[in-house]
Amino acid sequence: MTSFYLRPATLSDAETIAALHVAVWRQTYRHLAPPHAVATLTEAYRLPLWQARIREALADSPVIVAEQAGRIAGFGAGMLQAPPVYEGRAEIGSLYVAPDVKRQGLGRLLLEHVKALLLAQGARGVGLGVVRGNDPAIAFYQAMGGRIAGAYVDPGKHWRSDNLLMVFDA
């Protein structure tokens, strides 16, 4: 397994996180999201959101980056307070891994780390939304012990996505 270093994100990471988020998101959702959402969700759109998210990050809403050889190769973000569909569980809202390091254990490492941080803050379990049709992610989360506990529509500002709720109960 390749060596990765996990640490809390800093404001200086926001630009890299936004760029990685857009690149991986577009690759993952190019056939699932409507074209206007793909065109709208750019680095310029994501950057201020990540800057705000990192500024507000607390122990109960961590933003974690994974470094490999001095570069950010992935990131994960969670929130203790999640939407009602999560039924009291915390939410992992983001888990992104650079394409060139997929299948090297980084997704597993980030998922377990963010999950552990949220559980340590008192979460009774953790959930995350996966867009229907994102079969590789669904298979990954199931292999990691997640189970499908429901479905919901994310009202999103640019795309109303149909999601499965994957949960990891404590």
Q: Looking at the domain assignment, is residue 120 inside a domain?
A: yes
Give the Cα separation of 55 and 58 in Å (integer).
9
Q: Are strands 90-97 and 71-79 parallel, antiparallel or unpaired?
A: antiparallel
Q: Looking at the domain assignment, is residue 160 inside a domain?
A: no
At 67-100, the pLDDT tens digits run 998 899 999 999 998 888 999 999 999 999 998 8
Name the residue with tokens 């939407």: 83
Report which of 30, 38, 153 is spatially closest to residue 162, judged by C-alpha positions. 153
2 or 157: whose pLDDT is higher?
157
In CATH, what number is assigned to the domain containing residue 116? Answer: 3.40.630.30
Q: Which domain holds residue 77?
A: 5-124
Q: Looking at the domain assignment, is residue 116 inside a domain?
A: yes
Q: Looking at the domain assignment, is residue 67 inside a domain?
A: yes
What's the domain count of the chain?
Answer: 1
Report which of 6, 2, 20 is spatially closest to residue 66, judged by C-alpha positions. 6
